[in-house]
């Protein structure tokens, strides 16, 4: 079982994760939606496509753009469509 935590809260927990470039991507069903706020940030990966981001909000603190996902990835990354990965101090265990 993989788990992502930040600021004392479990953000995601699940078994059906995918690993891409050393990052653990959680399926949308593993996410605790109450901590995720839409961000206007987007970046582009040459082989995965355009990434969208979430800000995380836990106990009144915000971790800007700390989670990302590919809503419409290129063919090479179709296995992570809608899956969410973390950085910026989010602790990811298991997988």
Domain boundaries defined on the chain: 2-93
> Sheet containing 84-86: which strands, arranged edge to edge?
36-45, 49-58, 61-69, 84-86
pLDDT value at 63 more than 90:
yes
**What is the predicted pLDDT for the residue at 95?**
75
Question: CATH code for 2-93?
Answer: 2.170.150.40
**What is the predicted pLDDT for the residue at 60?**
96
Tokens of 77: 């990354």
pLDDT digits 0-9 by tens, 8-61? 999 999 999 999 999 999 999 999 999 999 999 999 999 999 999 999 999 999
pLDDT value at 62 more than 90:
yes
pLDDT value at 2 more than 80:
yes
């Amino acid at each position: 079982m993989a788990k992502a935590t930040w600021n004392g809260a479990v953000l995601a927990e699940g078994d059906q994760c995918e690993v891409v470039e050393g990052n653990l991507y959680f399926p949308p069903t593993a996410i605790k939606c109450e901590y995720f706020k839409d961000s206007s940030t987007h970046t582009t990966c040459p082989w995965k496509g355009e990434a969208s981001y979430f800000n995380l909000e836990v106990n009144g603190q915000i971790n800007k753009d700390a989670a990302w996902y590919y809503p419409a990835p290129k063919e090479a990354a179709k296995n992570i469509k809608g899956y969410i990965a973390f950085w910026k101090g989010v602790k990811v265990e298991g997988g």
